[in-house]
Amino acid sequence: MKSDIAVISDLKEYMLFKLVGAEIFYVSKEQAKQTFFEALKTYKIIFLTETLAKFLEEELKEYESKLYPIVLCLPSLSEENGFAYKNLSKKAKISLGLEI
């Protein structure tokens, strides 16, 4: 069965998502843009690690206000700069009308 969830990561720590049937893509920053645009065609929910999301910030702006596909950031395990939190807050406000 094909998953509707993709995880685009530059870290191996997000293997946990395999348990819920997500497709995991381990990519470098150079591969991230191409993988992201390919995932947009197939998946309904796309998780990006904070590092890659920050790198793709301009591309993500187009999808901030859209309900689908849902693009969410996963916080970095090594450093946190608040980018993932801001992304999640925007998505909650758009979809739920709540500010976190």
State how far the Cα of 65 lies from the Cα of 75, in Å rounded to an integer. Answer: 20
State how far the Cα of 13 lies from the Cα of 19, in Å rounded to an integer. Answer: 13
Domain CATH code at residue 63 = 3.40.50.10580
Residue 18 above 60 pLDDT? yes
Mean pLDDT of 69-85: 72
Instruction: Return phi, psi of residue 45, to 5°.
Output: -130, 125
SS3 71: strand
State how far the Cα of 18 lies from the Cα of 27, in Å rounded to an integer. Answer: 16
CA 23 from centroid of its chain's CA atoms: 12
- Domain of residue 92 covers 5-96
pTM of model > 0.75: yes
The pLDDT value given to residue 25: 94
Domain count, the chain: 1
Mean pLDDT of 36-53: 91
